[in-house]
Amino acid sequence: MKCRTGCGACCIAPSISSPMPGLPDGKPAGLPCPHLTPTLACALFGDPRRPQVCASLRPGPEMCGDSREYALRHLDELERLTGSR
Give CA separation, 30 vs 2, 47, 73, in Å: 23, 23, 10
Give mean pLDDT, residues 35-40. 94
Proportion of the chain in helix, strand, coil states, percent, rounded to 5: 30, 5, 60
Quick check: 75 pLDDT over 70?
A: yes
Q: Which of 32-36, 50-54, 72-76 has the lowest mean pLDDT?
A: 50-54
Quick check: 1 pLDDT over 90?
A: no
Tell me what the pLDDT averaged over the chain comes to: 91
pLDDT at 2: 87
The pTM of this model reads 0.84
